Amino acid sequence: MFPDRLTLQHEAFHALLMLRPELRIEGAIALYRQGESSFARAAELCGLSQEELKHILAARGIFREVPPLEQEDFEQAAEALRKAGA
């Protein structure tokens, strides 16, 4: 039925996530909190927008920590916006 054990495990895992989609969210959040996934990738893994994931995390008391921009990065971003006419 399955060519090998790895394929069987992959298909079983996929079926589990289809039956229990909340596990996908839990797994993505765990990867994000452990630093194994970016916030954007975690939202993608959940099948949610970043805004939706942000609300789920906030409801759980988990808040994103966004490091401040270094002065040089800020100046580069400001310059790019000026050039774009914003």
Task: Please report the pLDDT score of residue 86 as a whole number.
Answer: 56
DSSP string, the chain: --SSHHHHHHHHHHHHHHH-THHHHHHHHHHHHTTSS-HHHHHHHHT--HHHHHHHHHHTT----PPPPPHHHHHHHHHHHHHHT-
Q: Does the model's pTM come out above 0.75? A: no
Task: Please report the pLDDT score of residue 38 as a whole number.
Answer: 92
pLDDT, tens digit (0-9, with 9 covering 90-100), for 15-74: 988 899 889 999 999 999 999 999 999 999 998 999 999 999 999 999 887 778 788 888
